[in-house]
Amino acid sequence: MDGGTKEWLALASGSTVAGNLTILAAASNVIIQEAAESRGAKAFTFWEFLRVGAPVTAATALIYYAYLAVV
């Protein structure tokens, strides 16, 4: 890849994967939480979301790392 492309891919993937970690990590997570609560659904607590978000974030980060190591 040309100079700087790998760094931009790392930045883009890092900012994308970070939104999966907690409810507060991405605005869309908060919007969905509020929409669910306004419709009477039980929304996730911070810890319930983190329990799923942490392994998903770790797995996705490893995939991104492996890809960036190859390109």
Name the residue among 30, 63, 71 with its Cα closest to residue 49.
30
| 16-70: pLDDT as tens digits | 888 899 999 999 999 999 999 999 998 889 999 999 999 999 999 999 999 999 8
Query: Quick one: pLDDT band at residue 4, thresholds 50, 70, 90?
Result: confident
What's the longest Cα–Cα distance across the chain?
51
Residue ranges covered by each domain of the chain: 5-70
pLDDT at 71 over 70: yes
Q: State the DSSP code for 55.
A: H
Residue indicated by tokens 């760094």: 7
* pLDDT of res. 1: 61
* pLDDT of res. 6: 87
* pLDDT of res. 22: 92
Residue 7 to residue 30: CA distance in whole angstroms: 29
Q: Is 29 helix (H, G, I), strand (E, B) or coil?
A: helix
